[in-house]
Amino acid sequence: MTTPRTLEGIVDKIGIGLLGYGTVGSGVGKLLKTNAEDIALATGRPVELRRVLELPGFSHPDLDPALVTDDFDDIIEDPEIDVVIELIGGTGAARDFQLRALRAGKHVVTANKQLLSQHGAELLETAERNGVHLRFEASAVGAVPIIKVLRESLVAAEVETIFGIVNGTTNYMLSAMTETGADYADVLAEAQRLGYAEADPSDDVGGKDAAAKMAIMASIAFHSRVTLGDVAYEGVTRVTALDIAHGRRLGYVCKLLGVARLIDGAVNVRVYPAFIPAAHPLAGVSGAYNAVFLESEAFDKIMLYGPGAGSVPTASAVIGDVISVVNTAKGSFTRNCLCYKDLPFFPSEDVLSRFYLRVRVSDQPGVLARVAAVFGDEGVSIRSMVQEGSGAAADLVFLLHPAREAHLFSALERLRALDEVEGEPGVIRIED
């Protein structure tokens, strides 16, 4: 039997400065209190929340008002603060605060995916120059420790593909559209009412949130810098209930996927809505859950699944990072900055993809022949076609063989120009 450990003899505290006491920040405050003993026993050092940066006049029922300050200098100048947790978000003040904290020799833990995916190199290099750690588990997949797994467990496993559902808001919305047949705008309004979507949902529904996460994960997995600007992303704004219903009849479920691949030694990172087979493990991931598949020759595939957001799950990832910082060898030289390769990018227009394509046409003789001729001219080959509806207008639903994306989009442009084609065609990639 092991003798239970006690806190006796543990004196060297870890001082925490917390920037922002909103959804995640208050979750961190709560976990720091309720799990104080576990953290102390896991690290050998008790944690102490010393300062919280918030707006003047801020108060919160769980927070000692004496800890609150609206002056970042109070944090930077406190020699007892070892770790700064940045949860204010954005790329302005947050960047300034992180850089100043790192330069002052303080470790930084953050959930700020937009900042990391746009200014990661600057921040990581600043951390390294100052011999401190920058950790950002909560910037990727919430409570799911994908960053730790990629940067530590699988660092030598040559991950080739990262593939998954990394945005809970759109996953909730697509699940709801699939189940109820409701259209995008109605589901968004309902998601906002229930708190699953923010008042300004554009980062989520436009794919930027998922793109930032994919950039961060791809950088770590491929050891090569990928920024938000390197990610081609589409959101769910053009997904219609009609296309979801057509896909469903064909055995597919629509998900917003993040896909990062090494293709011929080059990096391709994208976010797009895609049809996946109803029996695929990702098809069963619904609501606010996220799931990420990693593929490598070394381990075939690994999947991690869990809540992608939320106050306490995200806070749990932040606390994991605090513990990791304390327990990691200071000065182990590449621990922050693992982007030691400088891989080229693979152009998205050259990627071979499979597509679902729905074209609404006026029901005239010869229309199918004219549509098919466009595909033929562009070298896009048809695997199957179903005509739905009749009368004045019909939907032609095509499943296409793998084609270079440039060819597909060139065909699409010509289809739009045909007199017989009505409205905007539905275009969704198919992933198996």
| 3-class secondary structure per residue, 383-430 | EEEEEECCCCEEEEEEEECCEEHHHHHHHHHHHHHCCCEEEEEEEEEE
Residues in 75-94 that interact with its own copies by CB under 8 A: none
Burial class (CB in 10 A: 0-12, 13-18, 19+), 409: middle
DSSP 342: -
First and final C-alpha spacing in the chain:
50
Which residue of 51, 95, 106, 335 would you call a contact of its own copies, by CB under 8 A?
335
Which residue of 98, 324, 356, 395 would you call a contact of its own copies, by CB under 8 A?
324
Residue 249 CB, shortest distance to its own copies, in Å, is 20
The region of 64-72, 79-87, 101-109, 150-158 touching its own copies under the rule CB under 8 A is 150-158
Residues in 21-40 that interact with its own copies by CB under 8 A: 31, 35, 38-39
The region of 16-24, 279-287, 388-396, 412-420 touching its own copies under the rule CB under 8 A is 279-287
Residue 317 CB, shortest distance to its own copies, in Å, is 7
Q: Which residues of 258-294 are buried (b: 16+ CB within 10 A; e: fewer)?
A: bbbbbeeeebbbbbbbbbbeeebebbebbebbbbbbb
The region of 56-64, 262-270, 290-298, 380-388 touching its own copies under the rule CB under 8 A is 290-298
Integer Cα distance of 285 and 297 in angstroms: 25
Nearest 5 degrees, angle CA 191-CA 196-CA 199? 75
The region of 90-98, 142-150, 178-186, 384-392 touching its own copies under the rule CB under 8 A is 142-150
Residue 329 CB, shortest distance to its own copies, in Å, is 4
Residue with smaller CB distance to its own copies, 264 or 342: 342
Nearest 5 degrees, angle CA 410-CA 414-CA 416? 115
Residue with smaller CB distance to its own copies, 36 or 406: 36
Contacts of 193 (CB under 8 A, 6+ apart): none
Integer Cα distance of 198 and 194 in angstroms: 10
Residue with smaller CB distance to its own copies, 52 or 124: 124
Residue 82 CB, shortest distance to its own copies, in Å, is 14
Provide the residue count of the chain. Answer: 432
Residues in 371-400 that interact with its own copies by CB under 8 A: none
155 touches its own copies (CB under 8 A): yes
221 touches its own copies (CB under 8 A): no
Residue with smaller CB distance to its own copies, 280 or 414: 280
41 touches its own copies (CB under 8 A): yes
Residue 30 annotated among the catalytic residues of the structure: no
Q: Would you name the residues annotated as active-site residues? A: 213
